[in-house]
Amino acid sequence: MAIDLYRRGIISIGRAAEFAGIPLAEFIFLCGTLQIPVLREPPGGLEAELAGLEAALGGQRPTAGHSNTLPEIAPVPRDEHEATDLSAHEAS
């Protein structure tokens, strides 16, 4: 019954899992087994969702949250001798 209510959009996936008495992850797995989609497009489409988010952010268009710069990382030693040199350098 919980799956049918969820499938018809009457209750949320979280509420359906509660109603079924199983953890959410298990309910999502069950939906996948039964080929019931767990990701749904919001009412009005994704553009409407994005416009609402943009309005909430004061007119700024949201970004993916990634910068164009890579973080600095330590070089990977190419051989055992270089690894020894790096560890001696890091100790100072």
Domain ranges of the chain: 1-39
Give the mean model confidence (pLDDT) for residues 48-72. Answer: 71
Q: How far is CA 78 from the centre of its chain?
A: 35
pTM listed for this prediction: 0.49
Rg (CA), the chain: 24
pLDDT at 7 over 50: yes
**pLDDT value of position 40:** 78
**pLDDT value of position 70:** 54
pLDDT, greater one: 45 or 70: 45
> DSSP for 21-73?
TS-HHHHHHHHHHTT--S--PPTTHHHHHHHHHHHHTTSPPP--S--SSPPP-
